[in-house]
Amino acid sequence: MKLTWKLAASACVVAAALSGCERQEEAAAGGEVEVLHWWTSGGEAASVAELKKMLEEKGDTWKDFAVAGGGGETAMTVLKSRVVSGNPPTAAQVKGPGIQEWAREGVLANIDSVAQAGNWDGLLPGVVSSVMKYEGNYVAVPVNVHRVNWMWANPAVFEKAGASIPTTWAEFQTAADKIQKAGLIAVAHGGQPWQDSTLFESIALGVGGASWYQKAFVELDQVALNSSTMIEAFDTLRMVQKYIDKDAANRDWNLATAMVINGDAAMQFMGDWAKGEFTAAGKVPGTDYVCMPAPGTAGSFTFNIDSFIMFEQKDESAITAQAHLAEAIMDPKFQEIFNLNKGSIPVRLGMDLAKFDQCAKDSSAEFSSSSQEKKLVPSWAHEMAMPPANKGAMFDVVTAFMNTPGMSSKDAAAGMASAGKI
């Protein structure tokens, strides 16, 4: 070990000459927060910058730790290494059952004092707060609520093809046929595993309804997973697939959205982050594009909540700064700015939505109504419903189904059942 030390030390000396061998010793007056996130661009980055400003007003320093790529997959690798090296950041963007998995490792901080002071129990819907807690204590802070089961449609394209915007999967087929005959693409889609599963998730909810969805994808019930309903859902996916263009493989979702914006395609099944693309292109909801629940899912709501987990901190100033961070995220001002930028809705109940557009207002209304009617379900394609291992295995099944023309729906359903058992 001695020699290794020596080598490390000499490496440090050389580095010092070149770069000033900086260590994390510059603890200023306030605390320092280091936040691992993958919101590196556009509106999202602007929102994070807002958070930074709010913390700096409280005298803390913000150390940005952004790692983009693959919907946070790279960031998770980095996070694991940081925790293993005994040097976790203040907070990290982790969501759904992942929160519980990290809490079980005993590395998360209890932020109940902040939560009590801010009356989080009163402000957050029950489905949200239960995800943020581990053994009854808050360990994470929610940022926003996305609705996943949206359909984004370009009415001009429907008009051109003489079709009407569908509300059931049967209507979808008639409309899609007309659009295809008119020489246009019916469904804009990107053939990446997470997009395949996002599409399938909306179909499954539309075909099977919320209570079956809950049983299959949240409780991972073997009977529900390997049921005739699941087979029907896969049959419907196969039908929908006919209306996707051939070049969809590995297409980014925003390029698919652009196809709807430009009038090359009629509709896309994607969460409400797609709205940002329409807004950036200067399109107005209701006239240039419409947001509707995916066929058969009106009244139901698949939610996707972004959140930050809080890691246990050693020194006092870091703990205070962490509390400031948690407060700031729940602050109505941040909730408004952030969600306006991101297309989602605030996670706090009872906020003024005057500045939000119609899609967001609809989303918010359905969020509360679906919650009362037990039609509010977590999005499994976005890691809200099951552990990553199961989710990954289900991704493999759905994506194999999409890419293997000969694979039967029955086999796919059996595959889903075994994916639920890992």
Partner 1 sequence: MTTAANASSLDRPHKRFADYLETALPKIVLGPTLLIALIFIYGFIIWTGWLSFTESRLLPRYELTGFVQYISLFENERWWVALRNLGIFGGLFIVVCLVVGLLLAILLDQRIRAEGFLRAIYLYPMALSFIVTGTAWRWILNPGLGLQNLVRQMGFENFTFDWIVTPGMSIYTVVIAGAWQSTGFVMALFLAGLRGVDDAIIKAAQVDGASPTRIYTSIIIPSLRPVFFSALIILSHIAIKSFDLVMALTGGGPGFSSDLPATFMYTFAFNRNQIGLGAASAIIMLMTVVAIIVPLMYSETRRTHR
Partner 2 sequence: MADTYQTQTAGSQWLGRAVLYALLVVFAVYYLMPLFVMVTTSVKTLDDIRAGNLIALPQEISFAAWFKAWGTACIGVECNGLKGNFLNSVSFVVPAVLISTLVGAFNGYVLTMWRFRGSDVLFTMLLLGCFIPFQVILLPMAQTLGYLGIANSIPGLIFVHVVYGLAFTTLFFRNFYVTVPSDLTKAARIDGAGFFTIFWRIILPLSPAIIVVSVIWQFTQIWNDFLFGVVFSSGDRQPITVALNNLVNTSTGVKEYNVDMSAAIIAGLPTLFVYIVAGKYFLRGLTAGAVKG
**Does 28 help bind partner 2 (rule: CB under 8 A)?**
no
- Among residues 158, 213, 243, 273, which is the contact residue for partner 2, using CB under 8 A? 273
Q: Give backbone dihedrals phi and psi of 343, rounded to 5 degrees, phi first.
A: 90, -5
Rounded Cα–Cα distance for residues 380 and 390 (Å): 10
Helix 228-241 with 169-181: angle, nearest 10 deg: 20
280 binds, options partner 1, partner 2, none, Cβ within 5 to 8 A by partner type: partner 2
What's the min distance (Å) between Cβ of 70 and partner 1? Answer: 8
Task: Check binding of 402 to partner 1 (CB under 8 A).
Answer: yes
Pick what 6 binds: partner 1, partner 2, none; C-beta below 5 to 8 Å, kind-dependent: partner 1
Three-state SS at 306: strand
**Which of residues 31, 43, 118, 142 is near partner 2 by CB under 8 A?**
43
The whole-angstrom separation of Cα 3 and Cα 10 is 10
- Residue from 9, 29, 84, 354 binding partner 1 (CB under 8 A): 84
Amino acid at residue number 80: K
Question: From the CB of 73, what's the least distance to partner 1, in Å?
Answer: 5
Q: For residue 36, how many C-alpha atoms fall within 13 Å in the half-sphere facing its CB?
A: 26
Q: Which of 248, 310, 381, 386 binds partner 1 (CB under 8 A)?
A: 248
Residues 362/370, Cβ–Cβ less than 8 Å: no
User: How many angstroms separate the CA atoms of 212 and 75, rounded?
Assistant: 33
> Out of 154, 370, 399, 409, which residue is the one contacting partner 1 (CB under 8 A)?
399
- Asked if 280 interacts with partner 2 (CB under 8 A), we say yes
- Closest CB 191 distance from partner 1, rounded Å: 5
Of all helices (H) and strands (E), which one includes residue 308? Answer: strand 301-310
Binding mask 212-241 for partner 1 (x = CB under 8 A): ------------------------------
Contacts of 183 (CB under 8 A, 6+ apart): none
Q: Does 280 bind partner 1 (CB under 8 A)?
A: no
Site size with partner 2, rule: CB under 8 A? 57
